[in-house]
Amino acid sequence: MQSIIKDGQIVQDGWQILRADAEGQYPAVAPDVDVIIPLSQWLADKASWLARSGKTAVWLAPADDPQRLAADLAALPLVAVDFPAFTDGRGYSLGRLLRERYSYAGELRALGDVWVDLLHYLWQVGFNAFEIKDGKAIDTALSGYDTFTERYQSTHREPVPLFRRRVTSL
């Protein structure tokens, strides 16, 4: 079990993440484990993964095309996006696409190089769960939600951009 942030609270979480090792091989996954697997593994053999007693979810790498997951989204208990480096911002676009184009409504989790300073933007583009990077404080990370109380753009959390709300309120 590990602590993660989900829907604004620190919760215990039992999902394991399947990642390739240095040689590109995937370790075996016990049948009763809840596991988040890479998109390639999911697309290669959905049926076997679903036949297990444990739950299966999918994580996207920055270069993955979320459209390849579109048909499965309604049935997935969780989708994650990996941030191998926090400076790689592709995952923010993936978050918006999953939420806004493919109408994904389930848990959307940010993995990898994720910490307090990134939480606000991740939340705005649609992520609602965050695995905070090892070595970074999780309790203080909650403050990341409140860094900004307003924003200019249309986002998943507030689709009506500020300029429209501004003029309407005049």
Partner 1 sequence: MYRYDEVDHRIVRERVEQFRDQTQRFLAGQLSEDEFRPLRLMNGLYVQRHAPMLRVAIPYGHLASHQLRKLAHIARQYDKSYAHLTTRQNIQFNWPELARVPDILAELAEVEMHAIQTSGNCVRNTTTDAFAGVAQDELLDPRAYCEIIRQWSTLHPEFAFLPRKFKIAVSGSVEDRAATQVHDIGLHVVRNEAGEVGFKVIVGGGLGRTPIVGEVVKSFLPTRHLLTYLDAVLRVYNRFGRRDNKYKARIKILVKAMTVEAFAAKVEDEWLHLKDGPSTLRDVDVAHYASFFIDPDYEQLSANPPEFSSKLAEEPAFARWVERNTRLHKRAGYRSVVLSLKKTGVPPGDISAEQMDAAADWADRFGYGELRVAHEQNLILPDVRESDLYEVWQLAKSQGFATPNIGLLTDIICCPGGDFCSLANARSIPVAEAIQTRFEDLDYLFDLGDIDCNFSGCMNACGHHHIGNIGILGVDKNGEEWYQITLGGSQGSHTTIGKVIGPSFAQADVPLAFEKIMTVYLEQRAAGERFIETVRRIGLDPFKERVYAKHH
Residues that bind partner 1 (CB under 8 A): 86-90, 92-94, 96, 101, 115, 117, 120-122, 124-125, 147-155, 159-164, 166-167, 170
For partner 1, the closer of residues 35 and 129 by Cβ is: 129
- The CA distances from residue 34 to 52, 53, 55, in Å, are 9, 9, 5
- Please state the closest distance from residue 72 (CB atom) to partner 1, in A: 20
Are 99 and 156 in contact by the 8 Å Cβ rule? The answer is yes
Q: How many CB atoms lie within 10 A of CB 125?
A: 24
Q: Which is nearer to partner 1, 17 or 121 (CB)?
A: 121
Taking the complex as a whole, the smallest distance from the CB of residue 92 to partner 1 amounts, in Å, to 5
Cβ closest to partner 1, residue 2 vs residue 93: 93
How far apart are CB 30 and partner 1 at their closest, in Å? 35
**Closer residue to partner 1 (CB): 86 or 106:** 86
Dist. CA 18–CA 59, nearest whole Å: 9
Closer CB to partner 1, residue 45 or residue 146? 146
CB of 42 to partner 1, least distance (A): 20
Shortest Å distance, C-beta 60 to partner 1: 12
Backbone φ and ψ for 3, nearest 5 degrees, come out as -95, 135
Q: Reduced to 3 DSSP states, what percent helix, strand and coil does the chain have, rounded to the nearest 5? A: 35, 20, 45
Q: What does the alpha-carbon distance between residue 88 and residue 54 come to, in Å, rounded to a whole number?
A: 31
Terminal Cα-to-Cα distance of the chain (whole angstroms): 51
